[in-house]
Amino acid sequence: MIFRIYDEKSALGKSAATHAGNLIRQAIADRGSARIVAASAASQFEFLKALITEPGIDWKKVELFHLDEYIGLPANHPASFCKFLEERLIAKTGITNTHLLNGEKDPAAVIAEVNEAISAAPIDVAFVGIGENGHLAFNDPPADFETEVPYIVVKLDEPCRQQQVGEGWFPDLAHVPTHAISMSIRQALKAKEILAIVPDTRKAAAIAACFNGPITPLAPSSILRTHAHATIYLDRNSAAQLTPEALAQFSERSEAKA
């Protein structure tokens, strides 16, 4: 795992998109297709805006999986992650091979279908965020580090739900669903490459909790330190509370600024 730290989140997003584009193009060149996982969050805005402009990607050869979705939320709700991906990635690129999580259907049936699909072949690259509570996908602390089931039902903790209000997706806490379908920690770690896109001051405490201290289910994204090809994209604000020791251990000096 390495950090790449940028002065501004626009530069962060552009650099992460270049990295992502290279990985997608290489997978298509090697095997004729690419399998990717995409996150749906405000932290991904700049990254996705840059990714859809990456040249030379045959998006018809890309198979897209969804990180997580609220249970009970219709796909036309402003906070729907299906809607997020449809508007910011699928419609802009023409991806046709998608596995979106239907929050209105029976969760067990949705999970059974997507578990079979994602287990068919390795994931080339997963694009993820890190929550204000340190969650990876919707695996809030204490996260399950052991289950091998690809997708699971999770209960959302209050800090996670409050983040959704703070980002403007819901008017208040009472409107935020309490449960979601989420990719499991172990499934996320099975991706050949992981790009975590994590800008903004509000993520600084979570970044510190995940990378200054021990690897623990109480800081779920700390598990990314066990992945040989995880790149954590930070801006100077989200990296502000990292210790000198963490920076020395994980920073990629040759590309640490942009």
Residue 34: pLDDT band (50, 70, 90) is: very high
Q: Which helix (H) or strand (E) holds 5?
A: strand 2-6
In 101-223, beta strands by DSSP E: 125-128, 151-155, 179-183, 193-198
Contact of 198 with 130, CB cutoff 8 Å: yes
228, part of any domain: no
Residue 244, Ramachandran bin (φ over 0: left; ψ between -120 and 50: alpha; else beta): alpha
Q: Which residue has the tokens 């989420």?
A: 182
- pLDDT exceeding 70 applies to what percent of the chain? 97
Query: What pLDDT score does 254 carry?
Result: 33
| Amino acid at position 247, single letter | L
| Amino acid at position 108, single letter | A
Q: pLDDT, tens digit, for every residue of 133-184?
A: 999 999 999 999 999 999 999 999 999 999 999 999 999 999 999 999 999 9
- pTM reported for the whole predicted model: 0.94
Structural domain of residue 135, as residue ranges?
Answer: 8-193
248, part of any domain: no
Q: pLDDT, tens digit, for every residue of 172-207?
A: 999 999 999 999 999 999 999 999 999 999 999 999
Rounded distance, CA 19 to CA 194, Å?
A: 11
Token pair in block for residue 129: 């965020």
Question: Which CATH number covers residue 161?
Answer: 3.40.50.1360
Token pair in block for residue 70: 């609220």
102, part of any domain: yes
What domain count does the chain have?
A: 1
Rounded distance, CA 40 to CA 38, Å?
A: 7
Of how many residues is the chain composed? Answer: 258
Contact of 255 with 170, CB cutoff 8 Å: no
- pLDDT exceeding 90 applies to what percent of the chain? 96
Q: pLDDT, tens digit, for every residue of 38-71?
A: 999 889 999 999 999 999 999 999 999 999 999 9
